[in-house]
Amino acid sequence: MEMKCLTILSIWWSLQMIIIIESINFGHNNHNNRELQSNIDHITKKLWDYRGPTGEQYWDKQYKYCKGHYQSPINIEMDRIVYVPNLQLSFINYDHYLFSMRMANNGHGVKLHQPPDMNDDHDDRLGCFVTGTALNNDIYRFVQFHFHWRNSHSSGSEHAINGNKFTMEMHIVHQNVRYDENEAILNRILAGDLFTVIAVFFNETDRHNKYLDPIIHHLDKIINVDSEYPLEQPLRLSDLLPDDKQTDFLRYYGSYTTPDCQEIVTWIIYPKPLDITSEQMNKFQK
């Protein structure tokens, strides 16, 4: 969707921290993830596209929230951001290997998610979470991640830095554990803190990104829309983030970048891109 320029943005560099979470059930989220992913798909898997009669220029005619004032993506002007020194993030279980991930072609790109029947012998069942003062100390559970990349009808990343886009953008989607999924989503309780999405940029370089290989090696298995394929190698979410993930990021409040465009997302954006080779990028573009 067309980007808007944000005039106030928060960037922070955090200090070392310890966050004690007194009560959360990390072991029962399989059923929640299944319901949540189903509900997200129910909302977003409607008749829309980036081009043609259902393209971006028509979204606001079919989806009322696409007319909102806090729409994403945006162009981030780095000389207009506001430094907030006391904001912090903490990642929980991001360094655990996920053995049960499945990749899917949802008709608009590549999505990776966990199935409802995850193997309890692995760390997958524990769930992955993000929290911290940058998120008002709310706890957000990992749901799925997906990619947006440059092709014949897209200029690459959805967000831009100083007007410049990147080769690819990854979104790691989390939902606030305080909300019941069915009630919050299907009944349209549009809480502004319902989702946190972490955005990571990729730019083409000559440095091979080995952490993308478990995904790239099987892209040819999901050429058809609605096809799925299990990852044969485990991956860690921490490997898909910059090394300085707790020291250099941007935050703003916005929306889904696709219909229904609800303004219920806290965005965490890493402005420094990760590497991807042209050969790796070609696999996404095929």
Instruction: Give residue limits of the domains in the chain.
Output: 4-13+26-285
**Residues 6+ positions from 10 with CB-CB distance below 8 Å:** 81, 82, 83, 84, 87, 134, 250, 251, 252
Cβ atoms of residues 198 and 172 within 8 Å: yes
Helix (H) or strand (E) holding 229, with range, is strand 228-230
Q: Is 260 helix (H, G, I), strand (E, B) or coil?
A: coil
Q: What does each of the 286 residues of the chain score in pLDDT, given as a tens digit? A: 545 444 334 443 333 332 333 334 444 444 455 444 544 454 445 576 666 676 676 677 778 889 889 999 999 999 999 999 888 899 999 999 999 899 999 887 899 998 876 555 555 567 999 999 999 999 999 999 999 987 655 678 999 999 999 999 999 999 999 876 555 454 445 567 889 999 999 999 999 999 999 999 999 999 998 899 999 999 999 999 999 888 789 999 999 998 888 899 999 999 999 999 999 999 998 7
Residue matched to tokens 């053995």: 99
Distance CA 55, CA 194 (A): 26
Residue matched to tokens 């989607």: 173
- Nearest to residue 185, comparing CAs of 107, 265, 117? 265
Q: What is the DSSP letter of 164?
A: B
Cβ atoms of residues 200 and 54 within 8 Å: no
Helix (H) or strand (E) holding 284, with range, is helix 278-285
Tokens of 42: 């129910």
Distance CA 101, CA 112 (A): 6
Hey, what CATH class is 4-13+26-285 in?
A: alpha beta
**Residues 6+ positions from 123 with CB-CB distance below 8 Å:** 93, 96, 97, 98, 99
- Nearest to residue 107, comparing CAs of 149, 58, 48? 48
Cβ atoms of residues 235 and 123 within 8 Å: no
Distance CA 85, CA 226 (A): 44
Distance CA 84, CA 96 (A): 30
pLDDT at site 191: 64
pLDDT at site 246: 83
DSSP alpha helices (H): ranges in the chain? 29-44, 59-62, 181, 213-216, 278-285
Cβ atoms of residues 199 and 168 within 8 Å: no
